[in-house]
């Protein structure tokens, strides 16, 4: 949960940085375009306007001085012809340049003054020409005077043109300078732009790297187990699929660590985790010594799997399994503790034992779960799945069984420790198929997988209440009936209301219906579990933890649960006579229950030795084949009546 939040936070942060960098890049690019435009405008103005102006002025100056030169030439040679032939042409040139300058809109306010000067020059030139035309009567003094007049006009015009030229040069220089500064700005902006582009690339690289890391992390979480670091079930299925696609040969061994759950509930999860880590390391070393290409996987809390390639030989697989099963001879030291574990191994060979991944896994599982007779490894045999394969395909049958009311409840008595008195019963469902009764161990998992457990569980609850009322009405003593509740029912929000309704419908007194919840259900989300338990208690039922000691529930939660009873799992009862460790666990559970003021029921009691041992430990109630198997309701009533009359 917190990982998702932090990755969301990181994504938001990356987005903000990305937007900021992109905005910077865009504005820098925009400014560069602006600066570039300014530079080109300045350059254009220089090229299109100022340069023609300067050229025109230069031309005009040369045309004017040409004309003065003509006058001097004419005066010095006394030839009027020179003047006449070129005069008109030169005058036209001057006028053309003046027109061009006024079109360029150069100094419009001085234009009149300049034209007046041109006319004044024309006048002096004209007078000079007329004086020359007098031939021998010409007055050289007059000629000199006109020449001086023309020269003075030319001087004034030259000064004026020089002023114009200077002004134009200054303006041009200014626009050149500003173009130059624009060029400088442009260069800086270009530099900024390059840095921004670099930033974007770096950002994209970082984002890509982060994403790759995320993907790595996701991949690791999806395909590897966090505790052992081993590849997990999905990875195994992937690898197995590859082998099958390549028509490879090999074997799949599924290993269950026998006492891991007990270790977890007795010493805590940390110790259990350490134990599985140590076991995994030990297995790796053993596997390496067998020289068979292999992979070791963790399937779930207490199961591992080995996929061996290129070796379909049963003998190889057997030698390996035999070796691995020898782990039970070897104690593991975890801190100050010395723990022993046992491995159960189920083996499926491929391609012989299954053509698909799911079939091979199922068959190796079936071999693992088959009756052991003290042998710790078993090869798959077809008969092992005949039953379960049938049931797996019968979800539809279950549905119709519910409609056709093929389910019935059998009742197993709970006895006082001396066995003399029945103190209650547990309702256990059966599926009647003609003469045959089908065990819940076979169909409850299918019902749970398909969700059918909800309507089936509801039926069980109402049927148990109905039966309690029927027995009470027929005069039998009021004895509590225990009903098994599966995880899905317990987690269903409507469940407490359903229970209240069933109790009310059959007017069941407080505590006469007991709900048995497995330890695994109680271990999930303790706060929510406590709230549901409180609602159920308020509805009027009592609560028991079933199969106690096998699950992962932490003992610290136990005191916070509003429960009344602990049912010790059959596995401990079965082995407490032979295993001092299991006997110690039973006694530990017993003293824990006493200190929490909980009742203890031992299930699976089959021998009088077990009965004696449990009663010595001050167990409250016993349940098991020693007293009675689960029996139909009518039989249970008869049994009650007979023990009642016997005691009277």
Q: Which residues bind Mg ion (CB under 5 A)?
A: 484, 516, 546-547, 603
Q: Which is nearer to Mg ion, 82 or 626 (CB)?
A: 626
Compute the distance between CA of residue 483 and CA of residue 343 in angstroms, rounded to an integer. 33
Q: Which one, 385 or 415, has the nearer CB to ligand C2E?
A: 415
**Nearest to 600, CA basis, from 521, 429, 585:** 585
Min dist CB 564 to ligand C2E, Å, is 16
What character string, x for contact with ligand C2E (CB under 6 A) and - otherwise, covers 517-546? -----------------------------x
Residue 428's binding partner out of ligand C2E, Mg ion, none, with CB under 5 to 8 Å set by partner kind = ligand C2E
DSSP string, 437-498: EE-HHHHHHHHHHHTTHHHHHHHHHHHHHHHHHHHHHTT-----EEEEE-HHHHH-TTHHHH
Taking CB under 6 A as the criterion, the residue among 547, 563, 571, 589 binding ligand C2E is 547
CB of 491 to Mg ion, least distance (A): 18
CB-wise, 365 or 603, nearer to ligand C2E? Answer: 603
Structure tokens at 308: 């061996």
C-alpha separations of 459 from 176, 453, 466, 502, 540 in Å: 97, 10, 10, 10, 19
Q: Could you tell which of Mg ion, ligand C2E, none binds residue 460, using a CB distance below 5 to 8 A set by kind?
A: ligand C2E
CA distance 623 to 419: 9
According to DSSP, the residues that pair with 419 across neighbouring strands are none
Q: How far is the CB of 414 from ligand C2E (least distance, A)?
A: 10
Q: Residue 415 touches which of ligand C2E, Mg ion, none (CB < 5 to 8 A by kind)?
A: none
Cis peptide before 490 (omega within 30 of 0): no
- Kindly indicate which of the ranges 39-47, 120-128, 283-291, 480-488 contains the residues binding ligand C2E, using the contact rule CB under 6 A: 480-488
Residue 551 makes contact with ligand C2E by CB under 6 A: no
Among positions 105, 300, 439, 579, the unique one binding ligand C2E when judged by CB under 6 A: 439
What's the token pair of residue 57?
């002025």
All residues at 6 or more sequence positions from 345 whose CB lies less than 8 Å from its CB, including other chains: 253, 254, 255, 256, 321, 324, 325, 368, 376, 377, 378
Q: Are 476 and 427 in contact (CB under 8 A)?
A: no
C-beta of 230 vs 460, nearer to ligand C2E: 460
Are residues 292 and 343 in contact, defined by beta-carbon separation less than 8 angstroms? no
Q: Does 441 interact with ligand C2E (rule: CB under 6 A)?
A: yes
Q: Kindly tell me which residue out of 412, 467, 611, 613 binds ligand C2E, with binding defined by CB under 6 A.
A: 412
- Piece of the chain touching ligand C2E by CB under 6 A; list 64-72, 154-162, 343-351, 483-491: 483-491
- Which residues, 6+ apart, have CB-to-CB distance to 392 below 8 Å? 446
Residue 341: count of CB within 10 angstroms of its CB? 21
**φ and ψ of 303, to 5 deg:** -120, 140
CB of 624 to ligand C2E, least distance (A): 3
Q: Which does 625 bind (CB under 5 to 8 A by kind): Mg ion, ligand C2E, none?
A: ligand C2E
428 binds ligand C2E per the rule CB under 6 A = yes
* Site size for ligand C2E (CB under 6 A): 24
What is the smallest separation between the CB atom of 415 and ligand C2E, expressed in angstroms?
11
Q: Point out which residues bind ligand C2E (CB under 6 A).
A: 412, 428-429, 439-441, 444, 457, 460, 484-486, 516, 546-547, 570, 603-606, 623-625, 630
């Amino acid at each position: 949960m917190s990982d998702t939040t932090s990755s969301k936070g990181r994504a938001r942060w990356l987005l903000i940085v990305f937007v900021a960098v992109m905005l910077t890049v865009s504005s820098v690019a925009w400014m560069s375009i602006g600066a570039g435009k300014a530079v080109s405008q300045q350059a254009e103005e220089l090229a299109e306007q100022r340069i023609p102006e300067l050229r025109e002025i230069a031309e005009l100056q040369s045309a004017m001085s040409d004309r003065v030169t003509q006058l001097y030439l004419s005066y010095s040679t006394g030839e009027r012809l020179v003047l006449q032939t070129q005069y008109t042409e030169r005058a036209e040139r001057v006028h053309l340049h003046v027109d061009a300058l006024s079109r360029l809109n150069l100094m419009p306010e001085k234009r009149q003054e300049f034209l007046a000067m041109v006319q004044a020059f024309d006048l002096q030139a004209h007078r000079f020409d007329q004086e020359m035309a007098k031939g021998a009567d010409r007055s050289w003094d007059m000629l000199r005077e006109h020449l001086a007049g023309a020269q003075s006009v030319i001087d004034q015009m030259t000064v004026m043109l020089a002023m114009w030229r200077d002004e134009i040069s200054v303006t041009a220089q200014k626009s050149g300078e500003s173009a130059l500064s624009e060029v400088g700005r442009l260069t800086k902006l270009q530099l900024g732009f390059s840095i921004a582009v670099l930033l974007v690339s770096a950002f994209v690289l970082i984002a890509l790297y982060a994403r790759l890391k995320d993907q790595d992390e996701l991949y690791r979480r999806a395909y590897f187990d966090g505790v052992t670091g081993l590849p997990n079930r999905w990875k195994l299925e992937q690898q197995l699929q590859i082998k099958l696609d390549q028509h490879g040969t090999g074997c799949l061994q599924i290993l269950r660590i026998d006492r891991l759950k007990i270790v977890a509930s007795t010493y805590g999860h940390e110790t259990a985790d350490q134990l599985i880590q140590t076991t995994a390391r030990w297995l790796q070393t053993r596997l390496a010594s067998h020289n068979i290409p292999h992979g070791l996987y963790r399937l779930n809390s207490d199961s591992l799997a080995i996929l061996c390639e290129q070796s379909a030989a049963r003998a190889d697989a057997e030698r390996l399994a035999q070796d691995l099963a020898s782990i039970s001879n070897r104690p593991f030291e975890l801190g100050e503790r010395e723990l022993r574990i046992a491995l159960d191994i189920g083996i499926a060979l491929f391609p012989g034992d299954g053509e698909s991944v799911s079939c091979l896994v199922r068959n190796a599982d079936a071999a693992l779960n088959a009756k052991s007779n003290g042998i710790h490894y078993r090869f798959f045999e077809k008969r092992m799945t005949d039953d379960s394969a049938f049931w797996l395909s019968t979800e539809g049958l279950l549905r119709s069984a519910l409609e056709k009311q093929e389910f019935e409840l059998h009742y197993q008595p709970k006895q006082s420790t001396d066995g003399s008195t029945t103190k209650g019963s547990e309702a256990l469902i059966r599926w009647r198929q003609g003469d045959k009764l089908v065990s819940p161990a076979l169909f409850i998992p299918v019902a749970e997988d398909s969700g059918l457990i909800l309507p089936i569980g509801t039926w069980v609850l109402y049927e148990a209440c109905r039966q309690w009322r029927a027995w009470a009405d027929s005069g039998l003593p009021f004895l509590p009936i225990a009903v098994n509740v599966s995880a899905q029912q317990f987690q269903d929000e409507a469940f407490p209301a359903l229970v209240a309704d069933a109790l009310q419908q059959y007017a069941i007194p407080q505590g006469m219906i007991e709900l048995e919840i497995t330890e695994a259900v109680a271990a999930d989300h303790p706060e929510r579990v406590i709230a549901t338990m409180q609602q159920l208690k308020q509805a009027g039922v009592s609560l028991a933890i079933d199969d106690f000691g096998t699950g992962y529930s932490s003992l610290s939660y136990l005191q916070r649960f509003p429960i009344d009873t602990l049912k010790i799992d059959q596995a401990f009862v079965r082995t407490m006579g032979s295993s001092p460790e299991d006997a110690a666990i039973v006694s530990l559970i017993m003293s824990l229950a006493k200190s929490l003021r909980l009742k203890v029921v031992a299930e699976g009691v089959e021998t009088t030795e077990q009965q004696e041992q449990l009663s010595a430990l001050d167990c409250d109630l016993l349940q098991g084949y020693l007293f009675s198997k689960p029996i139909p309701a009518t039989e249970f009533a008869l049994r009650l009546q007979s023990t009642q009359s016997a005691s009277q």
